[in-house]
Amino acid sequence: MNEYVSIAVELLLGFVILFLIIKLLGKTQFSQITPFDFISALILGELVGNAVYDDEVKLGQITFAILFFGVLIYFVEMLTQKFKNSRKLFEGEPNIVIHKGQIKYDTLKKIKLDINALQGLIRQQGYFSMQEVEYAIMETNGVVSVLPKSEYDVPKNSDLNLSASPVNLPITLILDGEAVYDNLKELGFDEKWLKEQLVKQNITSYKDVLYAEWRQNKPLFVLRYEKKES
């Protein structure tokens, strides 16, 4: 009987500690599973499993191990928030797999994704023909985001007898207070142009901008950092 009580106590303690760690790390643990999150979940689950089925592992030892690993995960989460260069290492980066209707085969090889898997991911977004897709991006959580060609958008322009308009991919130019120079260069713009666009919206510093997005024939879309209430 004492053996069952011991197992129940260890499971309960493991559940409480894991629950607190997940609450501390935030909802991204549920909504977006990155490779690092997946590894973390496996290790935490293994630690709790060892506590239940290995008699030589003491309750205090497993509690320390779970808490220590939780602190390590929290540290990595803080690191990726403060230093954007570390995000690629721990979280990966989005990859464009279809660009202007053309499949980027080299990118598929790089991320170890075959055509059949790509078709399945695109079908999950409601598009059953590759001809309907203008852009497709493989996100860091393994989901493919799809921007359809204008004639296949919902509602379909062909159903409304409307002429098709060109589709353009939005480009991020500022992220977390810093300019994305590679994207700026790809568009053929320079930093002077970007600063002029910000001045038009009464912004003088990148540090005031959380996110800025360019889209053809549209004004620069800017989201500022929320001001903290005093």
Q: What is the DSSP string of 179-230?
A: E-HHHHHHHT--HHHHHHHHHTTT---GGGEEEEEE-TTSPPEEEEPPPPP-
Does 28 share its domain with 73? yes
Residue 148 domain flag: yes
Residue 176 CA to residue 180 CA, distance in Å, equals 10
Q: Which residues of 138-176 are buried (b: 16+ CB within 10 A; e: fewer)?
A: bebbeebebbbbbbbbeeebeeeeeeeeebeeebebbbe
Structural domain boundaries, residue 145: 94-152
Candidate ranges 3-17, 51-65, 191-205; pick with highest mean pLDDT: 191-205
Side chain identity at residue 46, one-letter code: E
Q: Is 44 part of any domain?
A: yes
pLDDT of the residue at 3: 66
Domain membership flag for residue 195: yes
Q: In the predicted model, what is the mean pLDDT of the chain? A: 79
Long-range contacts, 68-71 (Cβ 8 Å, 24+): 69/40, 69/43, 69/44, 70/17, 70/20, 70/21, 70/24, 70/44
Q: What is the mean pLDDT of residues 170-198?
A: 91
* Same domain assignment for residues 105 and 83: no
pLDDT at 64: 74
More confident residue, 135 or 50: 135
131 in the same domain as 210:
no
Q: How many domains does the chain have?
A: 3
- Is residue 134 domain-shared with residue 205, that is, in the same domain? no
The pTM score is 0.59
SS3 172: strand
Are 30 and 74 part of one and the same domain? yes
- Band of the pLDDT at 112, cuts 50, 70, 90? confident
Q: Quick one: 128 and 112 in the same domain?
A: yes
Is the pLDDT score of 208 beyond 50?
yes
Q: What is the mean pLDDT of residues 100-113?
A: 89
Same-domain pairing of 178 and 141: no
Between 86 and 23, the more confident residue is: 86
Is the pLDDT at 150 greater than 90, yes or no? no
Residue 157 belongs to some domain of the structure: no
Higher pLDDT, 182 or 161: 182
Q: Is the model more confident about 161 or about 66?
A: 161
User: In 40-193, where do the E strands start and end?
Assistant: 95-99, 102-103, 133-138, 144-148, 171-175, 178-179
Question: What integer is the mean pLDDT of 57-63?
Answer: 69
Of 174, 177, 134, the C-alpha closest to 153 is 134
- Identify the pLDDT of residue 31: 46
Q: 222 forms bridges with which residues in the sheet? A: 212
Q: What is the mean pLDDT of residues 29-38?
A: 55
